[in-house]
Amino acid sequence: MYRSYELDTTAAKKADEKSARINTTGVYIGSFKHAIARKSPVKGTEGVELHFETTDKQEARLTLWTFKGNGEPLSGFNILQAILTCLQIRGIKASSTRIELYDPASGGKTFQDVNQYLDLVGKPIGLLLQLAPEEYMKQGVLAVANKLDIYGVFQSSSNLVASEILGRVVQGEKLDKMKAALKDRPLKKLTAQPQSNSAGYGAPPSNGFDDFEDDIPF
């Protein structure tokens, strides 16, 4: 005899209690809801704030710091270039838009004027996200922030990474190796270190988009 089922409203509600925020290391497929140009008011560091949403509506806010205030490139620049490659985009320009974002002052969402890279928005992409816990001071008490870094990027339709796309590889192999190496980063202790950048890529080239001009398969 098979089990009979009756409605359990408590259990039904629990089915909806999934975390809307990505909080674990893993491989995710989704798209960017927003790609906002950012600039540090103190040191002039430039970057892109990415609001990533998976296909099952989990979200993460990821900031790529691309250039120091003096023009020196940062490792986030390489990750941005990988994103452009996987999305088959040759360049992006920021344009003024008005979007709804969380406002710390009000504790809720408000409409804000920002500059966005709209060509990055709404297109399928795969990300390897790495939990990167960091210590910080909160009202004089040591706390831990579980931030996420972009460890790797891949084309969701083919599972190819940027170097394979540029090399016109048909059957990719690197993504499986990157998945095998993906794990949480060790806890970063609170020290007076310079601003960190997303892991997974080495020092970026200093010549901007020049490397993309001659041999691009898209």
Range of the domain at 82: 20-181
Domain membership flag for residue 106: yes
Average pLDDT score, the chain: 87
Q: Residue 14: what pLDDT? A: 67
Does residue 130 belong to any structural domain of this protein? yes
Residue 173 maps to a domain:
yes
pLDDT at 47: 97
pTM of the complete model: 0.79
Q: Is residue 10 part of a domain?
A: no
Burial 68-93 (b: 16+ CB within 10 A, else e): beeeebbbbbbbbbbbbbbbeeeebe
pLDDT in tens, 55-107: 999 999 999 999 999 999 999 999 999 999 999 999 999 999 999 998 888 88
Query: Does residue 5 lie within any of the structural domains?
Result: no
Q: Is residue 207 part of a domain?
A: no
C-alpha–C-alpha distance, residues 64 and 74, integer Å: 9
pLDDT reported for residue 191:
76
Percentage of residues of the chain with pLDDT beyond 90? 72
Residues 204, 106: Cα–Cα separation, whole Å: 38
Fill in the DSSP letter of residue 120.
G
Question: How far is 74 from 60, CA to CA, in rounded Å?
Answer: 21
Residue 116 lies in a domain: yes
Please tell me the distance from the alpha carbon of residue 65 to that of residue 49, in angstroms, as a whole number: 9
Could you list the mean pLDDT of each consecutive 10-residue stretch along the chain, which spans 218 residues?
83 70 96 97 95 95 96 96 98 96 89 97 98 91 93 98 97 97 94 50 39 50
- In this prediction, residue 196 carries a pLDDT of 44
Domains held by the chain: number: 1
**CB of 67 closer than 8 Å to CB of 35:** no
pLDDT at res. 217:
63
The answer to whether residue 3 sits within a structural domain is no
d(CA 159, CA 176): 9
Residues of the chain with pLDDT > 70, as a percent, come to: 85
Buried b (16+ CB within 10 A) or exposed e, 163-178: ebbbeeeeebebbeeb
Spatial separation of the C-alpha atoms in residues 37 and 2, rounded to whole Å:
58
